[in-house]
Amino acid sequence: AGAQSGSSFGSSRSARPNHSARPRARACGSCAPAAMAEGGADGGPGAAPPSPEALMEALRPKSMRELQESIAGATRRRRAVPSVATQLQEFCQQQSSCQERCVARIRARAGQEALLLPAAEGPEGDQERRRRGELEAAVMRRFASLEGQCASVCSRRLAHLVSGR
Domain ranges for the chain: 32-76, 83-118+136-163
Q: What is the pLDDT of residue 44?
A: 56
> 150-157 and 83-115 helices cross at what angle (nearest 10)?
130
121 DSSP assignment: -
Residue 97 or residue 129, greater confidence: 97
Residue 111: C-alpha distances to residues 23, 97, 98, 118, 143 (Å): 75, 21, 20, 14, 10
pTM for this prediction: 0.45
Using CB atoms within 10 Å of the CB of residue 138, give its burial: 0 to 12 exposed, 13 to 18 middle, 19+ buried. Answer: exposed
- The answer to which of 9-18, 41-50, 57-66, 148-157 has the lowest mean pLDDT is 9-18
Q: What is the pLDDT of residue 127?
A: 79
Q: What is the pLDDT of residue 77?
A: 67
- Mean pLDDT across the stretch 37-61? 71
- The answer on pLDDT for 135 being more than 70 is yes
Distance CA 101, CA 112 (A): 17
Q: Give the chain's mean pLDDT.
A: 73
Distance CA 35, CA 27 (A): 7
Beta-carbon contacts of 48 under 8 Å, excluding residues fewer than 6 positions away, are 38, 39
- The answer on pLDDT for 28 being more than 90 is no
- The answer on pLDDT for 100 being more than 90 is yes
- Mean pLDDT across the stretch 112-131? 74
